[in-house]
Amino acid sequence: MRVFLNLSLLSVPLFAAEAQQRPAVPEHIKAYCIDFNWGEGGVNGFARPGLWADADPAQHVAWYKAIGANVIQTFCNSCNGYAWYKGGPTPGQPGLEHDFLTEVVRLGHKEGMLVLGYFCAGSNPKWGQENPQLSYGYPSLPHIPYTDEYLAYFTNEIRHAVLKTSVDGFMIDWLWMPDRSATGNTWRDCEKRLYTQLMGKPFPEGAIPPEKELEYGRRALLRAWQAIRRAAKEANPDCIIMLSVSHLDNPTIADSPILQEADWVLNEAGDLQRTEKGKRMIGPKTRLITCLAAWNNQDPLEIVPDAVKAGVGLYGFCKPPSPVSSLIPLDFLDTPVEQLKGDQRNIAVLARAYRGR
């Protein structure tokens, strides 16, 4: 098991210097992500370790600048469990040519853009393979119970990434309980112990009443969130935590203190209904963001104007176009939107809004 980083060994002036270079948090969030999570060759649908390891930081920053983004969301670690920067507690993507995240931060700041990384809370095949007793295998579904051991590992990753790369913050994705379809409706001993730890009662012999499982789930997610938030803010008090939620009305997260405490909350589903519900569930200082992506099938000509009018931030993501290319060509940006489909349509509409058109 990895140990926590001893913060007392770090020089305090590090953050004072970095804070002077960090762009201001924008009034209107215009974010995008080239998504390194999904691709060919992985054991479970995630990108194989090392896919796009030749990604060029300068080219990526130029791409985000071209669409008018003021927030780059890229990766600390991607879902395959390997890092996108060098010198951290987890190995970098095999064959990583550049100190990618660190360089994107440096170059992005020069262009006046904030740079956020990424961590997946509930799924990590590397962790599942190395710790079979603490994970329900390693499917491309949430499969990790939030045990003491896992939270020690995960928060150590967060501390290191924030300190090592000077990233402005990170997205937390898949902050969900293990998917019971992935567990076969069974419970590993480690999660039975966690249930007892959080509920103050022995794990039930028979079936768990749904209301008790929900209560346990909400407690486990809140404890995990508190550990994540504490690690980030200890590493950098100004660290932005962007919580991605694909179902804001899911009972394990709806009306949770998590939504009150997050710096930014992304309605990944992108629909107007959940975005409206989200306004009532977030904290007074939390920024709400909506999303355009292939999976949520939202109409950008509806979502973007509504978000601009309501003061909701904008965000989009897409995976790289091929195993040999990590960037989508932008030769379609001036094409009439009506002639575009899918990711191109989403990007073109966002770029028009981001560039004031």
Count other Cβ atoms within 10 Å, centred on residue 342.
11
Question: Could you tell me the residue range of the domain that residue 80 belongs to?
Answer: 29-354
The tally of domains found in the chain comes to: 1
- Residue 184: what pLDDT? 82
67 lies in some domain = yes
Asked whether the beta carbons of 354 and 67 are under 8 A apart, the reply is yes
Mean pLDDT, range 283-310, rounded to an integer:
97
Residue 269, pLDDT > 60, answer: yes
12 lies in some domain = no
6 lies in some domain = no
- Residue 11: what pLDDT? 34
334 lies in some domain = yes
Q: Positive or negative CA dihedral for 102, 103, 104, 110? A: positive
CATH number of the domain that residue 63 is part of: 3.20.20.80
Asked whether the beta carbons of 247 and 269 are under 8 A apart, the reply is yes
Arithmetic mean of pLDDT over the chain: 93
213 lies in some domain = yes
Confidence of residue 13 (pLDDT cuts 50, 70, 90): very low
Tell me the residue type at 258. Answer: I
Computed over its alpha carbons, how large is the radius of gyration of the chain? 20
Structure tokens at 207: 């079936």
Q: 99-113, 175-189, 217-231, 233-247: which range is least confident on average?
A: 175-189
223 lies in some domain = yes
User: What's the farthest any 2 CA atoms get from each other in the chain?
Assistant: 63
Mean pLDDT, range 343-352, rounded to an integer:
98
